[in-house]
Structure 1
Amino acid sequence: MLLAIGAVADVRLARIFSDHAVLQQRKPVPVWGTAEPGEKVTVEFRGQKVSTVTGDDGEWRVTLKPMPAGGPFQMTVRGNNTIVLDDVLVGEVWICSGQSNMEWPVALSNNAEQEIAQANYPQIRLFMVPKAVSDRPLKDLNGGAWQTCTPETVRNFSAVGYFFARELHRTLKVPVGMIQSAWGGTPAESWTSKPTLMANPSLRYLLENWRRAEANYPQALENYQKQLAEWEKAAAQARAEGKPEPKKPDPPQNPRTNPWKPSGLFNAMIAPVVPYAIQGAIWYQGESNAGRAYEYRTLFPAMIQDWREAWAQGDFPFLFVQLANFMAVKPEPSESAWAELREAQTMTLALPKTGMAVAIDIGDANDIHPRNKQDVGKRLALNALAIAYGKKVVYSGPIYERMKREGNTIRLYFKHVDGGLTTPNGEPLKGFAIAGEDRRFVWAEARIEGNTVVVSSPQVSEPVAVRYAWADNPVCNLYNRAGLPASPFRTDDWPGVTQGRR
């Protein structure tokens, strides 16, 4: 980036614009920044020349007309000074966001060294949004720059983001830019704007609880100082007597800088990227909300609509990963918060232009961070090809549609049976449970009949409900012939373990 120094307040671009950037093809492209109030700013790119006058607030914005993919090009921004961005491409731009499974780097994924060594893609570009928390929406990021995808730059980048970008780039043969904005262990309310949380009566309490925590923090700090002084005395005495020291008290976390702060990450890590033109977003999150899965039925769609309103690009594609299998396998059918969170994710497909990558077969019982991020990226890319790009590809595994009771059996019907229902190597179906009016589930026999599954058990003569893969870590094996796994589901709506939980 070249900067010619001016005498007055320099024209500046928002940080999301830098050398090696990718701009979204075939959509209007906003370009914005700051300058002296009243200063004329002119942006030149690919034969377009657009000017504006900086507002009284020191902010300016122009919009480039839609362009086809291509590059590299130069962008020139002139005011009292001149900025030149080099090596700018036009192609497909996606946000990749969520918690640790989206943040999880290529370096810690399956086959990492080989994947890294082969990651020379001059037309894939990567931008990592710096981690930050804020009370109010920030105008700009505090760092970050676009980088060309190389073994050096891909190593610490989101594995899901990279493998998704690689699939799109290979298929669409255009530049792809990925903007990573993720933070491990964070809940969806941190990524949702304050007005959206305030507008929803069932979510407002999240902000109110946090306000209380902030008000109580000085007292908590004072209590900690007292505990620490007492501990220091006790520790000195223990050392003098040759005994082990007592456990040191933990300091309270400052609610103002805690990434769990509702709206805190939206304010600092999403708002400053808006309105950068994008094709869509991919999202891997939910583990931190599993204890409040029923609430997620409201929170998650609210967050998606929140982002769509912020960008003002209409219903851009929003594609997400359903929680993978994790934790110990249970011997009998039982309740599960993670199953309820997966159900909340599936329900969110009711929103337009949403897609879900099921990962119920590629998790790890002992690790909340499964290393197979390649298949996650591929399955998200299939959703993108179908939903964002209109390609005729099978992008979803079977999704439960309806049931019909037939004597002592229940017949299940599915969407997305493309090519037919199947199991790996034709093995018997696993993962189905059935219950009567007593709501006690037992493992069931299940068989594929055409595009339906028929479920029964000699223990349940009058069945009313079926569940499939309803567990933290289910043993399950229903697929379609495209090799995509069926989403876990239940036919009942009986109260779950997370209902009413806050």
Structure 2
Amino acid sequence: MNIGRCGRIGIAWGWAAVGLSAIPAWAAPSFDPVFSDHAVIQRDRPVIVTGRADAREAVSITLGAATRQVKAGSDGRFEARFDALRQAGPVELSAWAASGTVTARDVAVGDVFLCSGQSNMELEVRNAQDAVGQIRGSADDRLRLMLVPRAVADEPLRDFPKAPAWKVAGPESVADFSAACFYMARELRKTAKVPIGAISSSWGGSRISPWMGAKAQAQVGQAAQSALVSLHGRDPFAAERQASAAWEAWWRAATGDRTGWEPWQPAARIAWTPVPRIGAWENWGVAQTASYDGMGWFRRKIDLTAEQAKATAKLSLGLLDDVGRVWINGKPVGMSARSWMPSSFDVPPGVLKAGRNVLIVNILDNYGNGGLSGPADIMTLTVGPDVVPLADGWQYSLPAKTPDGAPRVPWGDTTGIGTLYNGMIAPLGPIGLKGVAWYQGESDVDLPGYDARMTAMIADWRRQFGSPDLAFVAVQLAAYGSPVTQPGESGWAAMRQVQYRAMARDPHGGLASAIDIGDPFDMHPGEKQEVGRRLARAMRAVAYGEAISRTGPQADRATASGDGGATVTFVGLTGALRTRGSGQAIGFELCGAGADSCRFVPGRVEGTRVVLAGDGQPATRVRYAWANAPVVNLYDDVPLPVGSFELPIAAER
């Protein structure tokens, strides 16, 4: 796959068991990164200061004028609870113990916001519109930023694998920070009049499921998969054995292959073709693979002596992009679901044999580049003291069709079960927050159940951060692709409606629509200043209680009119509805019962309503902006756009 905005590069942590089996002795107490120099502590709520010291060591902690005495646990972790602080100038946070002292300086008390999601939240200021000027003028010592490094874990981590740090806003810290998050925080600085802290924790291309903790997974019926991920952290081979058995059973059911004749068996009847070279199959110069996304099989024969076959063996195959599964002599050896991490497998005893061995690799490429990506020089089979190179001699075969519904590997990075929550949200601990900004959904388009997953994730995060009424504002997907000229179905429009309904149902939820500020040629539109302004406006409603709309203008109901048309009534708008560039509202559809019954109709704006005239055809539904990249021109007085919706037409009152 391509290493781009939705790519999988950066710091990542393979297993969750780090630091749990052996607790080191610390040279001195240390605070968790959220309490480093230049930190912002959430005002007006109790403060829980966390950190590490020597196991069972007594620690004295001072925050401002208050001091607490605590004792570290057997794992060296400590917590100190302080009463809520009001807005204050810089304070010091210090810890004393027999092993030493530590002080966090220039700690501000204000409001803290967490920003998370996929690539449109991750997009840096330096890659957004007007980057040079915005970076040059970004200095603000009362705005603090923390960028969480990418990390994957099978179990919730207490410590970040690579510690982030708070930085004062300025050209050096802002350039690589989330543009949407920075611009939201900058807007809130203008109205809140207190120090603002913004934490960005995002991963391009990620679905929502990796951001959901175990409790959220259980709420949506994924408890078993979540438990399998946890098992993978403790015993990778046991988890992979379970996952392989499920995958093999799925393959037989999906293809009808008999046991013993599947593609991973040496006896399988498959037409094999020599692999031109190690690397992405898109770069082979082969027409069939030039733009291929799907499944591919690879085979290599390995000859071993009897002594080698009995030796301890390790198989290294480099990068398997995106998901790789490995068999030797028809027996599962392992799998890789982290395409940025070179694969390495301990070969179970009894798998290798003297003479000819057959190594089979299945690759599932979801998007971008795929295949055995190497590098070739690290592809080896180590048997005892001997190293067998595996850089050449490979063959491949592509199935006529990739079967649908393959069980996914639950410990994957961007598609896993809880893996990003474990590595990038859990280590934040019980930090106090004012609100959360969420920009995600592109990777979940056309996947059912997003509403339930989003609701469960929000509840889980509120539990972690100890705030049942924590404000949560989601960005409604921007337009992407070519404008349509005929009505049709749209997964992006359906996702926008799901996002609105989830936020409207949540009394502490808000919505910032980006439907009108997309880019037809780029899924990552550069206009992030307006996204930030809209996020800040919604946050002012749900986090600060301002008497303004928390969702922007939204369709409330559609009522039949006497001429066979409909009248759509809107709520959440400021002032009245307005059209831009035309005297009519563009993008409305009247639809009958059939999937292909929708047709465009003009809309006449009347205050907070839009009237759609009948056209002599049956109408049971109304749709608006129902496309991936709709043409929209309906706004309120802010101006905020009306987003995608579909409503049934109720009988005339």
The aligned amino acid for 1:183 is W
Q: Distance in 2 between matches of 1:286 and 1:234?
A: 37
The aligned amino acid for 1:383 is A
Q: Distance in 1 between matches of 2:592 and 2:580?
A: 30
1:16 aligned counterpart, secondary structure: helix
Shift of 1:49: 1.1
Q: Distance in 1 between matches of 2:26 and 2:584?
A: 75
Q: Are the structure 2 counterparts of residues 214 and 31 from structure 1 closer, same or farther at C-alpha, using a change threshold of 3 Å?
A: farther
Q: Distance in 2 between matches of 1:8 and 1:99?
A: 35
Where does 1:167-186 land on structure 2 (aligned, <5 Å)? 167-186=187-206
Shift of 1:414: 1.2
Unaligned regions of 5+ residues in structure 1, if any? 1-6, 225-229, 237-242, 494-502
Q: Distance in 1 between matches of 2:103 and 2:81?
A: 17
Alignment equivalent of 1:71, drawn from 77, 89, 101: 89
Question: 2:470 aligned with 1:451, yes or no?
Answer: no
Q: Are the structure 2 counterparts of residues 295 and 93 from structure 1 closer, same or farther at C-alpha, using a change threshold of 3 Å?
A: same
Question: 2:480 aligned with 1:363, yes or no?
Answer: no
Alignment equivalent of 2:422, drawn from 257, 267, 281: 267
Higher strand share: 2
Q: Are the structure 2 counterparts of residues 131 and 214 from structure 1 closer, same or farther at C-alpha, using a change threshold of 3 Å?
A: farther
Q: Where does residue 412 of structure 1 map in the other structure?
A: 568
Q: Where does residue 28 of structure 1 map in the other structure?
A: 46
Where does 1:71-470 land on structure 2 (aligned, <5 Å)? 71-80=89-98, 81-142=100-161, 143-201=163-221, 203=222, 207=226, 215-216=243-244, 235=276, 251-252=320-321, 253=323, 254-255=336-337, 256=411, 258-292=413-447, 294-349=448-503, 350-407=505-562, 408-424=564-580, 427-438=583-594, 440-460=597-617, 462-470=618-626
The aligned amino acid for 2:320 is P
2:320 aligned counterpart, secondary structure: coil
Higher alpha-carbon deviation: 84-93 or 437-446:
437-446
2:511 aligned counterpart, secondary structure: strand
Shift of 1:216: 3.1
Q: Distance in 1 between matches of 2:573 and 2:455?
A: 26
Contact 2:462 2:468 in 1 (8 A): yes
Q: Distance in 2 between matches of 1:213 and 1:449?
A: 63
The aligned amino acid for 1:171 is T
Contact 2:219 2:456 in 1 (8 A): no
Shift of 1:232: 11
Q: Distance in 2 between matches of 1:215 and 1:36?
A: 39
Q: Distance in 1 between matches of 2:518 and 2:438?
A: 17
Superposed CA offset, 1:165-214 (max 9, x none): 1000111121111111000000000000123213423x458659986798
Shift of 1:481: 1.1
Q: Where does residue 21 of structure 2 map in the other structure?
A: none
Shift of 1:426: 5.7
The aligned amino acid for 1:66 is A
Q: Distance in 1 between matches of 2:47 and 2:168?
A: 21
The aligned amino acid for 1:402 is R
2:458 aligned counterpart, secondary structure: helix
Question: 2:639 aligned with 1:483, yes or no?
Answer: yes
User: Could you say which structure has the larger radius of gyration?
Assistant: 2
Q: Distance in 1 between matches of 2:608 and 2:633?
A: 15
Q: Are the structure 2 counterparts of residues 357 and 75 from structure 1 closer, same or farther at C-alpha, using a change threshold of 3 Å?
A: same
Shift of 1:446: 1.1
Q: Where does residue 389 of structure 2 map in the other structure?
A: none
Q: Distance in 2 between matches of 1:94 and 1:162?
A: 10
Superposed CA offset, 1:449-489 (max 9, x none): 222111124242x4221101111011121111110111211
Contact 2:578 2:634 in 1 (8 A): yes
Higher alpha-carbon deviation: 103-112 or 407-416:
407-416
Q: Are the structure 2 counterparts of residues 402 and 36 from structure 1 closer, same or farther at C-alpha, using a change threshold of 3 Å?
A: same
Contact 2:216 2:459 in 1 (8 A): no
Q: Are the structure 2 counterparts of residues 244 and 171 from structure 1 closer, same or farther at C-alpha, using a change threshold of 3 Å?
A: closer
The aligned amino acid for 2:184 is F
Q: Distance in 1 between matches of 2:186 and 2:276?
A: 55
Higher alpha-carbon deviation: 30-39 or 355-364:
30-39
Question: 2:58 aligned with 1:40, yes or no?
Answer: yes
Shift of 1:63: 1.5
Q: Where does residue 52 of structure 1 map in the other structure?
A: 70
Alignment equivalent of 1:10, drawn from 28, 32, 40: 28
The aligned amino acid for 2:244 is N
TM-score between the two structures when normalised by the length of structure 2: 0.68
Contact 1:134 1:257 in 2 (8 A): no
Q: Distance in 1 between matches of 2:588 and 2:286?
A: 53
1:487 aligned counterpart, secondary structure: coil
Shift of 1:332: 0.9
Shift of 1:55: 2.5
Q: Distance in 2 between matches of 1:379 and 1:441?
A: 31
The aligned amino acid for 2:611 is V
TM-score between the two structures when normalised by the length of structure 1: 0.88
1:291 aligned counterpart, secondary structure: coil
2:589 aligned counterpart, secondary structure: strand
Higher helix share: 1
2:556 aligned counterpart, secondary structure: strand
Higher alpha-carbon deviation: 152-161 or 307-316:
307-316
| Sequence identity (%) | 34
Q: Distance in 2 between matches of 1:102 and 1:199?
A: 26
Q: Distance in 2 between matches of 1:321 and 1:84?
A: 38
Q: Are the structure 2 counterparts of residues 163 and 213 from structure 1 closer, same or farther at C-alpha, using a change threshold of 3 Å?
A: farther
Shift of 1:394: 4.6
Q: Are the structure 2 counterparts of residues 57 and 418 from structure 1 closer, same or farther at C-alpha, using a change threshold of 3 Å?
A: same
Contact 1:141 1:272 in 2 (8 A): yes
1:491 aligned counterpart, secondary structure: strand
2:648 aligned counterpart, secondary structure: coil
Unaligned regions of 5+ residues in structure 2, if any? 1-24, 230-238, 249-262, 266-270, 278-283, 291-297, 299-318, 324-335, 338-410
1:10 aligned counterpart, secondary structure: coil
**Aligned residue-pair number:** 475
1:260 aligned counterpart, secondary structure: coil
Contact 2:26 2:54 in 1 (8 A): yes
Q: Distance in 2 between matches of 1:303 and 1:118?
A: 36
Q: Distance in 1 between matches of 2:631 and 2:56?
A: 65
The aligned amino acid for 1:278 is L
